Structure 1
């Protein structure tokens, strides 16, 4: 039972209603909301260590942890999609470094995060030597059913419509192998399908290194398969194609083939980004800025309106863990 300041408590683990929103979407009349059991008068007060009261660790969130964010309001989910080694985690790390310094394309202000340690875990690799190693390592996961979720909150005091209202964003950090498997056999890639079902906007990355290597023909075919799968799954939600590592010299015929795929399925050519040559290519900060802007538009993911999103997440959680 999770005790609250309101004199009642929810019997479900990781639910903090009524102090926050109900994870099942309905505080009034909820069968799990009960009065706490009185303790014996002689029972000593339990000493609580500093930090013990926090319902989150600061690391990347799982589905259970995501309810800490969802209880505050419907979060906007960004699905970062691409094969292994395409640069997904590097884009996330670059976005975080810029966001915490107040940099970016749009006039939003950083307003907090439940995953400060998770962000630092990937961003430290982009710091100056000897701390940083150049780029984040390959993303792995112990749970194939859902991705790691990195949280950030933004406010836009300059916008009259928003004022100081916080908007919560969850960005997926998933292994590229999930998406390669999903492109061929969706039923065997539950984690990638979760991203496809719940994201409000997508980034689709093409790997410049792979597209110029000895297996560039196969890399082009794999990208096309993934693009077709994502086009079908997105059902009208925005997809921003990105050519990562654009400075490495992708052969013109391969680049034209990738652009043809992107124009056909997403109505736009890939945004070409580079960590080494921002003078001739877009900054690696820009793709996620654009995806967040797209996710903030009125259209939500396939789960529909905010209340339904919460209810569907709760149903999904019941099937994953208690």
Structure 2
């Protein structure tokens, strides 16, 4: 330092904290966060839909725990997440902690938000590249209401998911479909499949029989399978159960791989109006 030059003061803790601030909190993402990530790579939005307590959040959280072990999903390498705080808060319910045994994550609260919270995974493939994958984590009441009345004010979140998703996971709750209320549960799921069928437009879909350790009566299962074939004929059926942890991974891997590549744009072909090549020059067509 030159003699007589003013001394620079050390940065204050608040200034250091300001410089280290990141543009995300680790919680479930909203639309503003989605816009921040959308520009860095092609992103995939997976709409996870189904009735209340059908196992949607458990399916996602089980995959997060498996990724922590293997670092891989669908043969793609885990490359980070902007929602680690949200993942960890859900995963805490499924771990041994002190004297508390593992349990299922709590019910996703039914709020007044217009769009769902989203859980994020960044995945990388050596041959195909990098993708940001978002999974919707929304209350089941949204979808039940949307299935009954498409334009219901309290179903706006469900409409947003259906409009913007690249692919869908549909949860069919085997416990409820085999229990005392199996009739209403069957009707509700059939209604949801019919409603989704009006909007899916060929996008990939997987119907996952969650909690498949419970046996669904043949008539109920056949009724749902028939509704699936009529309304979502291209959909794939899979099962998941806590007794077979790898089944959770198979479900998410299937839906991620189904939309990883994306649709290839059709070539633009300009029709030939006349056979004479002279008229093909711009500015001359139709002029004498």
Matched, 1:203 2:172: no
Report if the CA contact (8 A) 1:200-1:237 is conserved: yes
Q: Does 2:233 align with 1:233?
A: no
Q: 1:51 to 1:205 in 2, by over 3 A?
A: farther
In structure 1, distance between residues paired with 2:244 and 2:258: 26
Task: Report if the CA contact (8 A) 2:71-2:78 is conserved.
Answer: no
CA distance in 2, matches of 1:260, 1:295: 25
Deviation at residue 294 of structure 1 after TM alignment = 1.4
2:68 maps to 100
Q: SS at 1:297's partner residue?
A: coil
Match of 2:50 among 70, 76, 82: 82
Between the aligned partners of 1:71 and 1:209, the Cα distance in structure 2 is 41
Distance 1:275 1:103 in 2: 20
Report the TM-score when normalising by structure 1.
0.72
> Whole-Å Cα distance in 1 between the matches of residues 214 and 34 of structure 2?
38
Change (3 A) 1:74 1:49: same
Aligned match of 1:320: none
> Greater CA radius of gyration, 1 or 2?
2
Aligned equivalents of 1:127 and 1:105: distance in 2? 20
Equivalences, count: 250
- State the 1:133 CA deviation: 3.8
1:276 and 2:243 matched? yes
SS in 2 for 1:202: strand
Mapped to 2, the partners of 1:211 and 1:263 lie a distance apart of 19
Give the conservation status (yes or no) of the 8 Å contact 1:237–1:299. no
Which residue of the partner structure matches residue 226 of structure 2? 260
Deviation for aligned residue 1:78: 0.4
Residue equivalent to 2:280: none
Aligned to 2:278: none
> Cα distance, 1:51 vs. partner?
7.2
In 1, the alpha carbon distance for the partners of 2:72 and 2:247 equals: 10
> What are the superposed Cα offsets for residues 195-243 of structure 1, whole Å, 9 maximum, x if unpaired?
0011100001111111011111111010000001111111110111111
* 1:91 Cα deviation from its structure 2 partner: 0.6
Cα displacement (A) at 1:72: 1.3
| Cα gap change, 1:293 to 1:269, in 2 (>3 Å) | closer
Contiguous gaps of at least 5 residues in structure 1: 1-43, 305-322
SS at match of 1:124: helix
RMSD, matched Cα = 2.3
Question: Counterparts of 2:29 and 2:142 in 1: how far apart (Å)?
Answer: 18
Does the 8 A contact of 2:74 with 2:256 survive in 1?
no
Q: 1:217 to 1:103 in 2, by over 3 A?
A: farther
How many Å apart are 1:127 and its aligned residue? 1.4
Task: After TM superposition, list the pairs within 5 Å mapping 1:1-322 onto structure 2.
Answer: 47-49=15-17, 52-102=20-70, 106-129=74-97, 130=99, 133-157=102-126, 159=127, 162=128, 165-188=129-152, 189-267=155-233, 268=235, 270-277=237-244, 283-299=247-263
- C-alpha distance 253-290 of structure 1, shift in aligned 2 (>3 A): same
